[in-house]
Structure 1
Amino acid sequence: MVESKLTLEKIEEARHRLAGVAHRTPLDFSATFSEMTGNDVFLKLENMQKTGSFKIRGAYNKVMSLDEKDRGRGVIAASAGNHAQGVAYAAARAGLPCTIVMPAGAPISKIAATRGYGSEVVLAGGGYDEAYRLAVELREKSGAAFIHGFDDVDVIAGQATIALEILEDLPGVEAVLVPVGGGGLIAGISFALKTLRPEVRVVGVQAAGAPAMLLSWRKGRLVETAHASTFADGIAVRRPGRVAFGIIRQCVDEIVTVDDEETAGAILMLLERSKLVVEGAGAVGLAALVYQKTALRNARTVVVLSGGNIDVNILSIIIERGLVKTGRYARLRAVLSDEPGNLGKLLAAVARTRANVISVAHNRIRPGVPLKQAEVELSLETRNKEHIGQILEVLARAGYRPEIIA
């Protein structure tokens, strides 16, 4: 079977299929990130896409392009979550039975959403690559049509419709930053951009713990990594797609990586500064720009925020860690005499610093705490690191020996 190639005609066909199904997501100018990075920054809000991710574009286009014979036994896919929801939604629209194999560690919210569209969900151990292998085995037994998450021309054509919208909404675009996992998204976007506006610079961004595409791009051949270690599950891929890689080699100008701390910082900035909820994979492009992983300056730049399906537990940890890092949250410990009124005196000293007490833990039986004394842990809302220093100084002058524990 000869594999068809990606063309502008296929991308236009995909746009026609997606009309009335996928949202035309906003392209939002950010004064905050423009000032922060020295570029005119526009955010392509695919986190506001139906199912919470760009993945519905490619998944729906692929499912709806199947002929009757391929539809006969339903569809099957492997996914960490976003492609799963796109395929499940498309299969439900087409009235097809659907099986999705997901990593056992996939966010609960993504598993629940996929089941909510009526698909059967099978959980596999490990990450995406293990889920993919199991999906292939199940497909061989069932004969279902396999809907690949990134290494399929019709899927790539669906993702490429994002580039058409960018060019229409911002004709003067000079650079586009795109998250990279298996490569389907950046393959589609870069092909459309380079075909229509070859001067536009395309920068791919991977997680440092899952750099398979970067390594492949540098060596000029597909490279599989031993691990894909990142909380950005949507791009935790050990081996890039072959079809996608062929396009990327020709159309992408640069690939960079960001670590998980930088990605978490970008998530927190988007939440606080732009009131946008974005998952790890969706935030890597902004992280690369903010933390200067690419040399873009004074450029009209689009950052693709590819999805917003972040697990609330992960988001909670990112928020708390971010507050600690900036000095806006502190936990401290002090030992005081276990007598009536002493806890009140400690809290009164804290109150004089204008810190807000979030919680108090009073422990008189912890090993190591002398008899007739009690250990007190305070969680405090603070202004900054200087404010924390002032609190410690006030407590020390009051006779306590405070210790920061977070």
Structure 2
Amino acid sequence: MDVPALVWWLTIIGIAGLLLFDFFFHVRKPHIPTLKEAAVWSALYVGIAVLFGLGVWVFGGHTMGAEYFAGYVTEKALSVDNLFVFLVIIASFRVPRADQQKVLLIGITFALVARSGFILLGATLINMFAWVFYVFGLILLFTAGHLMRQESEKSHQGDNFVVRLTRRFLPTSEHYDGDRLTTVVDGKRVLTPMLLVMVAIAGTDLLFALDSIPAIFGLTQHVYLVFTATAFSLLGLRQLYFLIDGLLDRLIYLSYGLAVILGFIGVKLILHALHENNVPFINDGEPVPVVEVSTGLSLIVIVTALLVTVIASLASTKGRAQNLSSAARRYATRLLDEECEPEECAYFYRKLQAEEEELRRLPEKYRAKIREDEQLMDMLRRVHELHGPEAARRPG
């Protein structure tokens, strides 16, 4: 499908316009989005992506349409998995909830620009070297194996190498100054944690692109479809974060579903590489007669894997227990922060009380496991001492 330059420019301008609209009408003034606001705007962005896909289907044919939707669904699923890492980074930097929108939008904008560069690089390599499909396939198989192992939150802490390097060579503050990126401390201009958390998210997203870009090139080699599917999967990610942040920890089997998807695409890429083979030490440089996976089958496998893992996660009592304990830990961490504003503290304390009530309704074996977490129990005890009814009755 040859895409005219005018269509390219209109698409780029449209995507840039959506990002600017998001900034000026939602993020510029810090606020905590309501569940209704997040749901409406998430549905709107998904709707735009689906309408665009239907346009591709009508004007480009069913094959192109299926390739776009397969790429969009895969990239969206990977983006949801990435949201969990963003959640950990934001929590580790203790970003005020009203300012989290700006952090996420800047991170998403950086991701879109960086991935556009990776897309151009990937397309260039594919056009120059057919053996690149072997490399992409092996990357995805390695990533799939890595996803099968459960990772701890410590592996995604915000204090990564890029942030440590920034702290070492640039003056930084330990405290926020609204949503400003710099502030003045003792007469000197220094960086705030707001800038550091953006650096942490941007640096982490570069690692995400290492499996994201090969995955979508495994579904389509049309650069326009790769770019648009990637862009539309990132647009609306900020709203989706606030819509499902209470459920992210609940999706305990999502990594297994993504492992199946990436492994499947990795195998598909290697089969395609064998079909187009010109590597001298494989079949004397001649193409290998292998069965190639159709786009329709790819779409079925991707959607099925996601549905099974999401339904299994939501139906799992273990997932519910993990989600509740993780949420309680995040709320307690924020409530123990000295910079927690009274209104914000009251909000988080109500949320914590709701989580604790749900924890009490869990089966005994899960409650017992949570009680064994001495660090969490100590945090909850200190929170109730500081913010509970007894604390409110103490003389000031």
The bucket for the TM-score relative to the shorter chain is under 0.3
Q: TM-score, normalised by structure 2?
A: 0.27
Bigger relative CO (Cα 8 Å, ≥ 6 apart): 2
Q: Which has the larger radius of gyration?
A: 1
Q: TM-score, normalised by structure 1?
A: 0.26
